[in-house]
Amino acid sequence: MNATLTRVPHLLHGGDYNPDQWLRYPEILEKDVELMKKAGCNAMSVGIFAWAALEPEEGKYEFGWLDQVIDRLYQNGIYTVLATPSGARPGWMAAKYPEVLRVNADGRRIPFSARHNHCPTSPVYREKVRLINTALARRYAGHPGVILWHISNEYGGACYCPLCREAFREWLKKKYGTLDELNHAWWTAFWSKTYPSWDLIDPPFDNGERGVHGLTLDWMRFVTDQTVDFMKAEVAPLKEANPALPVTTNMMGFYPGLNYFKFRDVSDVISWDNYPSWHEGDDRETALSTAMTHDLMRSIKPGKPFLMMESCPSAVNWKPYAKLKRPGMHELASLQAVARGSDSVQYFQWRKGRGGFEKFHGAVVGHLGTGDTREFREVEALGKRLKGLSKLAGSRFVSRAAIICDTENRWALQEMRGLIQEDKGYLAEVRRHYAPLFRMGVNVDLIDEESSLEGYELVAAPMLYMLRAGIAEKLRAFAEKGGTLVFTYWSGIVNDTDLTFLGGFPGGGLQELFGVRMEEIDTLYPADRNGAEVLPAGKEAGLQDRYEIRDYTEISHPAGAEVLAVYESDFIRGLPALTVNRFGKGRVYYAAAVFEDGFYRDFYRKLVSDLSLRPLEVDLPEGVYLSERRLEDNTSCYIFQNFNTEEVSLALPKTLTSLETGESLETLVLPGYGTVFLL
Ligand code: GLA
Ligand code: ZN
């Protein structure tokens, strides 16, 4: 049984459905339902940008068409994921209440145009949203066909209007109390930036203050808080009508504009929109990045299923190249979402419109209007397969390993001046730690600094530059109880307003945990290389003789830790490149540099084996990935996926049974792009 969508015992299959664009084509609306059934669809997201159709004039609602759509879907066994329409406001509202329109970072108010551009502070906008959401909730929150609220669409961006600027100042007053506190926290004595009054504080406009990092950070936090607050306001009337009907909002993976982890409490279920660039470069690498994004999104609510709210059945029309998915990739990529914990495969879009920006964006039904296309047939075949996988609905994705990938830390790193200026390499470093674990089939969560460490045995915290409140204590307690920690260079540098620690790095009480004292960090030019010479103790930790090093070499001195590898050249020759410290019952590793990939592979192989983190003792060929979902009775479903175009075979460590065919297997033969679910 699907844990969050308690009325739905299946994986969801369907997508964004825009009948509001087709009201003049009743025969098409009829045909839609026939095709949906043929494609094995059971859930449609309706009304996402339908405000103009729902309220064509101020206060005059038109629900007749939506009644018909929801009823018709329901009568045909298709659930509705019902959207609130705030992602794009109607023209009458823009004309009458310009304050609902967003002001960009250049200070200009945008005219009535496009979408995703409202002001989240505007009392008028909030009131209009409250009214339409209340009306929708009164009418549909008890409808047996409606299973989930889809709140707005891809919240994002920021508004710099006078209302938002004022709200930002209020937010700051609440946070700092006095200007004196704020000025200290932001270190404004630098360049005589001391704020003598609250009114002088503005967001980082394009031509405004970009050098006060505390300000930029707080602005990003404010934008997140204001968006969460807006979502809460959207949700309130919906919950009032039916508290049991869950809500979600569709997110965008590693989108940097919002700290999605702050949406944990206001969302009953996490959902996101997945658009990888398949067939651009090596698909096995794209699959790894995509899995990592699924894992980040899932980890907002660790262990719980999430929903893939959008994905494209074929060509994505906003990418630089609108490449078609090769035969078989649709099934493989869709089942990858399921493998990583999704309870759905949803598309953008059900049907291509006749006009507008997305008329050539991939869809289940194209302009031909029938099911007689390759695209449709692939969706139909997948629909059949998903039906056979109902047992997975609601199953959990349990990880004993986690990587801290913190959005506020990412913002702070991006803002600071120094290191490799353009891109400090945070996500690349996170990926270095993720890749070997993923390749071994170890389930991994990507959590943030506020997440609980309960239940994990291995936690990597790469480039933990900014220590947010509580994280240092949490990490110490984790190691004390026997946890294994992996840290890197450039950690424990600043507190959460971006003020550096004094008295040595890593600061914030982490020096004792690392058993290392850092002194300086060297940023290497792109062609520069150093190396790590592995000491005997390092070889016992599973490492080979030598690894290449690039990008960063941090200079540090052991203060209790054991040295496992040292730099091989330059003036830092002989200084630690890798150390381990015993802390409480745990072990704390510190990698002082960026190593070649083979290092992370060898390093994590040994850790994973010491901690027995693999769900199955199986050596996975390159491009074959293993995920594990836990069924209701806590037994495991092992999901093998082959991202190679050629067939591969591998010996299983025990006899397993196919969830779909019931066949017993000792050897697994996976066709190119194949997926199997084994019990
Ligand atoms: C986003 C939006 C959709 C649509 C798709 C196109 O994810 O949420 O409305 O624009 O992109 O890929
Ligand atoms: Zn605004």
The Cα angle at residue 517 between residues 514 and 523, in degrees rounded to 5: 105
For ligand 1, pick from 152, 155, 273, 314 the residue to mutate: most ligand atoms within 8 Å of CB: 273
| Cβ pair 555, 521 in contact under 8 A | yes
Residues 6+ apart with CB under 8 A from 406: 448, 449, 464, 466, 468
CA of 275 to the centre of ligand 1 (A): 9
Residues 6+ apart with CB under 8 A from 436: 600, 601, 603, 604, 605
Q: Enumerate the β-bridge partners of residue 57.
A: 60
Domain ranges, ordered by start, for the chain: 401-611, 624-678
Is residue 642 within 6 Å of ligand 1 at its C-beta? no
Is residue 348 within 6 Å of ligand 1 at its C-beta? yes
Select which of 154, 375, 378, 415 is catalytic.
154
Tens of pLDDT, residues 358-403: 999 999 999 999 999 999 999 999 999 999 999 999 999 999 999 9
Average pLDDT over residues 64-92: 98
What's the CA gap between 270 and 250, in Å, rounded?
A: 7
Examine the pLDDT at 7 and tell me if it is beyond 90: no
Predicted pLDDT at 80: 98
Q: What CATH number has the domain spanning 624-678? A: 2.60.40.1180
Average pLDDT over residues 231-256: 98
Is residue 275 within 6 Å of ligand 1 at its C-beta? yes
Q: Of all residues in the chain, what percent are helix, strand and coil, respectively (each to 5)? A: 35, 20, 45
| Cβ pair 216, 415 in contact under 8 A | yes
Dihedrals φ, ψ of 133, to 5°?
-65, -40
Please tell me the number of Cα atoms within 13 Å of 478 on its side-chain side.
28
Examine the pLDDT at 532 and tell me if it is beyond 50: yes
Which ligand 1 atom is at minimum distance from the Cα of 357?
10
CA of 197 to the centre of ligand 2 (A): 21
Cα–Cα nearest to 89, from 39, 54, 139: 54
Residue type, 371: G
Is residue 154 within 6 Å of ligand 1 at its C-beta? yes
Question: Which ligand has the shortest distance to the CA of 114?
Answer: 1
Within the chain, what is the greatest distance between any pair of CA atoms? 78
- Helix orientation angle between 64-75 and 26-38, rounded to the nearest 10 degrees: 30
| Cβ pair 603, 435 in contact under 8 A | no
Predicted pLDDT at 9: 85
Tens of pLDDT, residues 13-63: 999 999 999 999 999 999 999 999 999 999 999 999 999 999 999 999 999
For ligand 1, pick from 358, 359, 360, 364 the residue to mutate: most ligand atoms within 8 Å of CB: 358
What's the CA gap between 537 and 579, in Å, rounded?
A: 10
- CB neighbours of residue 564 within 10 Å: 24
What's the CA gap between 382 and 190, in Å, rounded?
A: 60
Tens of pLDDT, residues 379-390: 999 999 999 999
The two tokens of residue 92 are 């009458």
The Cα angle at residue 144 between residues 141 and 149, in degrees rounded to 5: 40
What's the CA gap between 228 and 385, in Å, rounded?
A: 37
For ligand 1, pick from 115, 297, 310 the residue to mutate: most ligand atoms within 8 Å of CB: 310
CA of 196 to the centre of ligand 2 (A): 24
Name the average pLDDT for the chain: 97
Dihedrals φ, ψ of 473, to 5°?
-60, -40
CA of 161 to the centre of ligand 2 (A): 4
Question: Which ligand has the shortest distance to the CA of 250?
Answer: 1
Which ligand 1 atom is at minimum distance from the Cα of 252?
7
Tens of pLDDT, residues 428-458: 999 999 999 999 999 999 999 999 999 999 9
Examine the pLDDT at 3 and tell me if it is beyond 90: no
Q: Enumerate the β-bridge partners of residue 664.
A: 657
Is residue 363 within 6 Å of ligand 1 at its C-beta? no
Tens of pLDDT, residues 248-281: 999 999 999 999 999 999 999 999 999 999 999 9
Share of the chain above pLDDT 90, in %: 98
Question: Which ligand has the shortest distance to the CA of 164?
Answer: 2
| H and E: helices and strands count for the chain | 17, 25
Confidence bin at 6 (pLDDT 50/70/90):
low
Which ligand 1 atom is at minimum distance from the Cα of 273?
7
Integer CA distances (angstroms), 65 to 19, 26, 57, 60, 292, in order: 8, 10, 16, 14, 40
The two tokens of residue 88 are 């794009």
Question: Which ligand has the shortest distance to the CA of 226?
Answer: 2
Neighbour-count burial for 159-194, b at 16+ CB within 10 Å, e otherwise: bbbebbbebbbebbeeebeebeebbbbbbbeeeeeb
Average pLDDT over residues 163-192: 98
Tens of pLDDT, residues 464-476: 999 999 999 999 9
CA of 252 to the centre of ligand 1 (A): 10
Tallying the residues shown for the chain, one arrives at: 679
Tens of pLDDT, residues 584-638: 999 999 999 999 999 999 999 999 999 999 999 999 999 999 999 999 999 999 9
What's the CA gap between 605 and 236, in Å, rounded?
A: 48
* H-only helix segments in 58-156: 64-75, 91-96, 123-140
What's the CA gap between 444 and 201, in Å, rounded?
A: 41
Q: Is the dihedral of CA 20, 369, 12, 362 positive or negative?
A: negative
Cα–Cα nearest to 379, from 348, 419, 409: 348
Closest C-alpha residue for ligand 1 atom 12 = 316
- CB neighbours of residue 373 within 10 Å: 18
The DSSP string of 418-480 is SSSSS---HHHHHHHHHHHHHHTT--EEEE-TTS--TT-SEEEETT--B--TTHHHHHHHHHH
For ligand 1, pick from 348, 358, 359, 360 the residue to mutate: most ligand atoms within 8 Å of CB: 348
Q: Is 154 a catalytic residue?
A: yes
Tens of pLDDT, residues 189-211: 999 999 999 999 999 999 999 99
Q: Is the dihedral of CA 518, 522, 527, 530 positive or negative?
A: negative
CA of 100 to the centre of ligand 2 (A): 7
What's the CA gap between 202 and 191, in Å, rounded?
A: 17
CA of 348 to the centre of ligand 1 (A): 6
What's the CA gap between 125 and 118, in Å, rounded?
A: 8
Tens of pLDDT, residues 133-154: 999 999 999 999 999 999 999 9
Is residue 153 within 6 Å of ligand 1 at its C-beta? yes
Examine the pLDDT at 2 and tell me if it is beyond 70: no
Predicted pLDDT at 1: 45
Give the DSSP letter of residue 664.
E
- CB neighbours of residue 25 within 10 Å: 14
Which ligand 1 atom is at minimum distance from the Cα of 318?
12
Is residue 361 within 6 Å of ligand 1 at its C-beta? yes
Q: Is 34 a catalytic residue?
A: no
CA of 111 to the centre of ligand 2 (A): 14
Confidence bin at 8 (pLDDT 50/70/90):
confident
Pairing of strands 593-595, 12-17: unpaired
CA of 408 to the centre of ligand 2 (A): 22
Is residue 592 within 6 Å of ligand 1 at its C-beta? no
Is residue 273 within 6 Å of ligand 1 at its C-beta? yes
Confidence bin at 4 (pLDDT 50/70/90):
low
Cα–Cα nearest to 46, from 183, 150, 116: 150
Tens of pLDDT, residues 121-131: 999 999 999 99
CATH for the 401-611 domain, from 3.30.465.10, 3.40.50.880, 3.40.50.170, 3.30.910.10: 3.40.50.880
Average pLDDT over residues 277-292: 97
Select which of 55, 234, 310, 378 is catalytic.
310
What's the burial of 322, exposed, middle or buried (CB within 10 Å: 0-12/13-18/19+)? Answer: middle
Cα–Cα nearest to 217, from 205, 203, 207, 228: 203
